[in-house]
Amino acid sequence: MKTAIFGGTFDPVHNGHLAAASAAANELQLDRVFFVPAGYPPHKSHPPEASYLHRLKMVELACATDPRFVTSRLEEPKIAARPHYSIDTIERIRENLDPVDPLFFIIGADAFAEFPLWYRHQEVANKVEFLVINRPGWKAKKIRLGESTLRAQYLNDVAVPISSTELRSLLCARKEVNHWLPYTVITYIRKNHLYTVTG
């Protein structure tokens, strides 16, 4: 079974995320793509605007569009708030796979460029192969760790020119977002008054 991990803040999840996951699944013939909303993202200077449970629910709604997409609660915040690192999630998912099953990690080109700064990055590199999504303004480059090149495949022509940051601004300004978000996610955001000046 071929499995991929797609971690992110997903604040909110949008069509760009879905397009990237779909492209990766089609290209590699993946059986499952685990969407893993981050609880306490270690690389973010500010906490997510929407709560973990709101972001989880939006991911669940978005993942309903494709039977290969699975929502994971592996990074759900516990009582003691602490960052949850990618290596933790990778090891938990690997425990439930056959040793010969390949495990991939979907990542944007911008985040991939910072991989050498990741916590326990060498262990991460030994456990997964990266599927790198080029983003507007970013062109993924090969990364070397010591004498070897990081295992990675590069997926082009799937970049959607929108970010969660831009979408939060559009939502706050009550601008049109139908092109960028699944309808079910838009409905959820409006029902729960997310990404508003007072919300």
Residue 196 lies in a domain: no
Domains contained in the chain, number: 1
Residue 186 lies in a domain: no
Q: What is the per-residue burial (b if ≥16 Cβ within 10 Å, else e) of 63-91?
A: beeeebbbbbebbeeeeeeeebbbbebbe
Residue count of the chain? 199
Residue 167 lies in a domain: no
Residue 26 lies in a domain: yes
CATH code for position 42: 3.40.50.620
Residue 83 lies in a domain: yes
Q: What angle do CA 137, 140, 141 make, to 5 degrees?
A: 130
Per-residue pLDDT of the chain (199 residues; tens, 9 = 90+): 999 999 999 999 999 999 999 999 999 999 999 999 998 777 667 889 999 999 999 999 999 999 999 999 999 987 546 778 999 999 999 999 999 999 999 998 888 888 989 999 999 999 999 999 876 666 666 676 665 668 999 887 676 788 999 999 999 999 999 999 999 999 999 999 999 974 4
DSSP SS3 for 144:
strand
Residue 169 lies in a domain: no
**Which domain does 62 fall in, by range?**
3-160
Show the tokens assigned to 188: 């959820």
